[in-house]
């Protein structure tokens, strides 16, 4: 009996010891996977390296915080083929973490055309795409973007590459890194229903499943409005393709840029869908095709937009875009591909963002005053916000109104002519409101001369500031002409009164005579009544 009790006691102690060891091991494992949080101050213990970027701080509408800005401006964003080419990055030593969250402030004018940040790792699968992209907050000039990544636990290091590539006149802080958080989670975040965008640079994540005979170009980026495009590789082959795995998507939009007028015909491309058993041309599925012709005035290339929609959301299949090689200097290039679930996103709305951005790219800032260009940006930002919240039925009206408003803003030449006519009219109205009787004949002639000189000066002015200057000088000249003094006006009125007929003046003798006659008549009338 004693032996049995001792055996039970020993077994119990072993079980308790094993449980304690397991708990201790769990705590040890948790302790070995620290959370890294970097708020982009000048230094950070977990930040192993910083390259081609510097730390700054202040309040850009989100409260006082710090950010990393790249030192070099580029005409294109980072990708797998060039990310070491003087792009800014921050580098962290990690081990065991499986989630990375990154916050970036993006300039509003580039909020829909910027290239995403890139996250690389040392270990298996050296690049990951975000599973979630959110717009968390915005200020007057910036939008704070929040990216979430699920990363392999085998990674020993993580690098965030960001840029400040040029879009129009935006050359500084187009992307500013504000926070990095790397940690371990028992439950990794679920992928959000969001639009997957392939900007057709070298980089791609799990969604681009295959590619063949492709090359990449960034030539004419300003005229295209897209920093990276896919083309057929030079050589003997006349075709190329890019292929996308389908994970919960049913719609693909492909944007093709061309430097020639396609005369409303489709670009020389083919779309295919593979449903795990066979490949079909997408002609049997719903398609929407739209062409925006090249703009001769701004030099912008044309855009052909193809929407490919499956019958249902699918998993594990793929969609393929095949390009045909061009000749004789004609160019048709694949600039952007968007994949999404039509239950959550509308194709018309996605295309509207591209059209809105194109309308902004057509604007040459040098042709507008600062005030008028800010007015255009205001219309753009307002329309963007409205489109985000719009129902599908509202998109077309919002876009049309925004483009009309942006096009209606006067450029420098129009503003110059408008200001000239406005100030001439104001000067004429100012003189017309004066009373000629308030001036002597000679002084009134001076006012008319000042008016004529002012109108001529405004007409011959060479800038808006010169117009304003001529107008103000004319007003000052007119105001300097003396009016007839007030005491002289009173004397003139008295002289006019003195010049009236003297027969209208009654003297005292005549007045008493009238009174006596009326009194006598009254007495006689009274006596008759008494009798």
Q: Quick count: other Cβ atoms within 10 Å of Cβ 279?
A: 10
pLDDT per residue of the chain (531 residues) written in tens, 0 to 9: 555 555 445 445 445 445 444 444 444 444 579 999 999 887 777 788 888 888 888 888 888 888 887 776 665 555 555 555 567 789 999 999 999 999 988 877 666 554 567 787 876 446 676 777 788 888 888 889 898 888 888 889 998 887 655 444 444 556 788 999 999 998 876 655 667 777 776 555 556 767 888 888 877 777 777 667 888 888 778 888 888 877 677 888 888 888 877 665 566 667 777 765 555 655 555 566 777 888 887 788 888 888 888 777 766 677 888 888 776 667 888 888 888 888 888 888 888 988 898 888 888 888 899 899 999 999 999 998 899 889 989 999 999 999 999 999 998 898 899 999 999 999 999 999 999 999 999 999 999 999 999 999 999 999 889 999 999 999 999 999 999 887 655 555 555 555 544 444 445 545 555 565 655 555 555 454 445
Neighbouring C-alpha atoms within 13 Å toward the C-beta of 209: 12
| 3-state DSSP assignment of residue 52 | coil
Contact 90, 49 (CB under 8 A): yes
Q: Which long-range contacts (CB under 8 A, 24 or more apart) does 429-437 make?
A: 430/475, 430/478, 431/478, 434/478
Q: How far apart are CA 316 and CA 497, in angstroms?
A: 106
Decide: 105 and 173 in contact? Cβ < 8 Å.
yes
Quote the distance between the C-alpha of residue 385 and its chain's center.
Answer: 9
167 secondary structure, DSSP code: B
Specify whether the CB–CB gap between 474 and 457 falls below 8 A.
Answer: yes
Residues pairing with 78 in the sheet:
none
Closest by Cα among 154, 194, 162, 141 to 54: 162
> How far is it, in rounded angstroms, from Cα 269 to Cα 282?
12
φ, ψ dihedrals at 207, nearest 5°: -75, -40
> Which H helix or E strand runs over 515?
helix 508-530
DSSP states of 449-507: HHHHHHHHHHHT-SSHHHHHHHHHHHHHHHHTSPPPPHHHHHHHHHHHHHTS-GGGPPP
* Residue 72: how many other CB atoms lie within 10 Å: 13
- pTM score: 0.57
| Contact criterion met (CB below 8 Å) for 305 and 253 | yes
Distance CA 220, CA 229 (A): 10
Residue 388 is inside which H or E element, if any? Answer: helix 370-389
DSSP symbol at 67 = E
Sign, CA torsion 415/420/423/425: negative
Pairing of the two strands 64-70 and 286-292: unpaired
Which residue, among 70, 104, 106, has the nearest Cα to 179 in the 3D structure?
A: 104
């Amino acid at each position: 009996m004693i032996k049995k009790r001792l055996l039970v006691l020993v077994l119990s102690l072993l079980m308790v010891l094993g449980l304690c060891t397991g708990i201790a091991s769990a705590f040890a494992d948790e302790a070995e996977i620290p959370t890294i949080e970097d708020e982009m101050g000048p230094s950070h213990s977990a930040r192993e390296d910083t390259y081609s970027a510097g730390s700054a701080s202040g309040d850009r509408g989100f409260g006082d915080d710090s950010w990393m800005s790249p030192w070099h401006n580029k005409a294109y964003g980072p990708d797998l083929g060039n990310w070491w080419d003087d792009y800014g990055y921050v580098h962290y030593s990690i081990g065991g973490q499986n989630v990375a969250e990154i916050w970036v402030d993006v300039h509003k004018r580039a909020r829909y055309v910027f290239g995403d940040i890139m996250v690389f790792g040392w270990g298996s699968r050296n690049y990951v795409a975000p599973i979630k992209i959110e717009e968390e907050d915005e200020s007057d000039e910036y939008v704070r973007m929040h990216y979430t990544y699920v990363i392999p636990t085998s990674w020993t290091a993580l690098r965030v590459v960001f840029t400040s590539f040029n879009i129009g006149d935006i050359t500084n802080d187009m992307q500013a890194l504000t926070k990095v958080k790397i940690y371990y989670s028992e439950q990794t975040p679920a992928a959000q229903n969001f639009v997957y965008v392939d900007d057709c640079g070298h980089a791609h994540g799990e969604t681009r499943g295959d590619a063949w005979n492709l090359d990449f170009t960034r030539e004419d980026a300003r005229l295209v409005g897209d920093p990276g495009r896919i083309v057929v590789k030079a050589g003997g082959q006349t075709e190329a393709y890019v292929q996308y795995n389908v994970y919960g998507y049913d719609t693909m939009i492909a944007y093709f840029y061309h430097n020639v007028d396609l005369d409303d015909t489709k670009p020389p491309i083919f779309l295919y869908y593979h449903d795990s058993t066979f490949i079909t041309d997408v002609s049997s599925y719903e398609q929407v095709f739209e062409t925006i012709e090249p703009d001769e005035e701004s030099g912008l290339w044309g855009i052909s937009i193809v929407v490919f929609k499956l019958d249902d959301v699918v998993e594990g299949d793929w969609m393929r875009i095949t390009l045909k090689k061009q000749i004789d200097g004609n160019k048709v290039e694949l600039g952007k591909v968007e994949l999404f679930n039509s239950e959550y996103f509308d194709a018309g709305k996605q295309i509207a963002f591209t059209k809105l951005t194109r309308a902004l790219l057509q604007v040459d800032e040098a042709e507008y005053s600062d005030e008028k260009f800010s007015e255009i940006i205001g219309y753009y930002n307002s329309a963007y916000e409205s489109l985000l919240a719009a129902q599908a039925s509202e998109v077309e009206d919002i876009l049309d109104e925004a483009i009309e408003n942006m096009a209606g803003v006067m450029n420098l030449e129009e503003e110059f002519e408008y200001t000239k006519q406005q100030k001439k009219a104001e000067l004429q109205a100012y003189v017309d409101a004066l009373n000629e009787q308030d001036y002597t004949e000679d002084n009134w002639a001076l006012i008319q001369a000042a008016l004529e000189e002012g109108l001529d000066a405004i007409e011959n002015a060479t800038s808006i500031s010169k117009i304003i200057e001529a107008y103000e000088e004319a007003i000052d000249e007119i105001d300097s002409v003396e009016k007839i003094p007030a005491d002289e006006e009173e004397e003139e009125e008295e002289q006019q009164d003195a010049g009236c007929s003297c027969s209208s003046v009654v003297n005292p003798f005549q007045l008493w005579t009238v009174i006596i006659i009326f009194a006598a008549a009254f007495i006689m009338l009274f006596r008759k009544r008494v009798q």
